[in-house]
Amino acid sequence: MRRSSHHHRLSAFISACTALALLLPARASTAQPGPLWPDRQEIEHFLKKAKVTERKKIGTGVTHPEKVTLELDGAVRHAVFKKIDENSDNWRNEVAAYELDKLLGIGMVPPTVERSVGGRAGCLQLWVTGTTMETHDTRFPDVEKWRDQVGVMWLFDDLIANVDRHLNNAMASPAYRLMLIDHSRSFRDGEPLRNDLNAKVEGTSARLWGLDSDAKLERFPTRHFSIYSVAGTPLQSRPGVLQRQRRSLMRRGIASILAVALVLSLGLAAGLHAQATKDEKTKLDRLEGTVLSIDKQKSEITIKQRKTTNTQWTVVYTPDTKFTYINAPATLDKVTVGLRLICEGSFGTEKSRMTAVRIDVRTDK
């Protein structure tokens, strides 16, 4: 792809974020009396530093999330831990969606941070109280304010290329505030969006809009423009034209730029890929990091990506693993906490776990 094409798409992304930063807070303020999490900075600190005292598997969700109990200085909170790490479904997207929500002043995504639990890299998101739209069965006391929030949600999903906004991924708080969860399948560029800014009054869209499903009704408009109209690419109002133009823009890669530009700008870009590479000669996966801990009973070494993020890997060694010290023959005893390792081996289905063929110990930390 040519440099000018990258520049054009990145400019569209920046223009879109600038426009949304001006548009959304003003609209959101009419729908919301105040921030859902006014102490979000304190919550982020808590999620990062609190001790995990209990972990329970949540019975719903294909990403196998866990509900964890956290304690810090006598305070107790709950959070959701996600560790799924696939190309099309990744915990990093949860953090990126929250950071963008915060940047734009939307305030619908619960505080979310990068955090390793039990040696596994992932994210923690504050556990929120409310009902999913799948189970919500009461009328909204102010349906117009609720629809304002739903309109912001669709625009946000349009921006982050979220293809997974179903009724279990949107929640109503006890005060009828819209809360958005489960964004691990966002920032995709391989298919058109399923979110229609001028949606039909049927199925999921009708339930979110607070109406009974009726396929005979006309489409209902939101009060918000499409992200692409503020990015310098006007969209026509007719639904069919809108859908075709959105698909065309997706094919041209704008959604890909949203993902790449956002994740890189936040310093969240796949840590596993930053220092985990492929050796062209041996065809083995190669990673580099600083030793955090050694578990001889499990034959595992936990290492941390150096200097940048807190991304961690688990390196499994076997009787056949070759240990070296600055390329000279050595043993496991040379591996100590704080030293740098260069590991060669292969990743399994879990991209944060390598079975090592060779582990080279370095003296610099």
Q: What is the pLDDT of residue 317?
A: 94
Q: Residue 264: what pLDDT?
A: 43
pLDDT the model gives residue 181: 95
- What is 271-362's CATH superfamily? Nucleic acid-binding proteins (2.40.50.140)
pLDDT of residue 163: 79
Cα separation of 342 and 322, whole Å? 12
Q: What is the pLDDT of residue 207?
A: 75
Q: Is the Cβ–Cβ distance between 57 and 64 less than 8 Å?
A: yes
| Continuous H helices in the chain | 3-31, 40-49, 91-103, 143-160, 203-209, 227-230, 239-251, 254-265, 271-274
Question: Between vectors from CA 90 to CA 262 and to CA 66, what angle results, nearest 5°?
Answer: 125
CA–CA gap between residue 230 and residue 228 (Å, rounded): 5
Judge residue 112's burial from the number of C-beta atoms within 10 Å of its C-beta, 0-12 exposed, 13-18 middle, 19 or more buried.
buried
Mean pLDDT of successive 10-residue stretches along the chain, which has 365 residues: 42 49 46 77 96 89 85 96 89 93 90 94 95 84 85 82 85 93 83 53 67 59 45 40 45 44 44 51 81 92 72 89 89 91 85 89 73
Q: Measure CA 309 to chain center.
A: 15
Is the dihedral angle over the CA atoms 145, 149, 152, 158 positive or is it negative? negative
Query: What pLDDT does 133 receive?
Result: 86
pTM over 0.75: no
Domain boundaries, the chain: 3-265, 271-362
Residue 295: its pLDDT value, please? 93
pLDDT at 212: 66
Is residue 230 classed exposed, middle or buried when 0-12, 13-18 and 19+ CB atoms within 10 A define those classes? buried
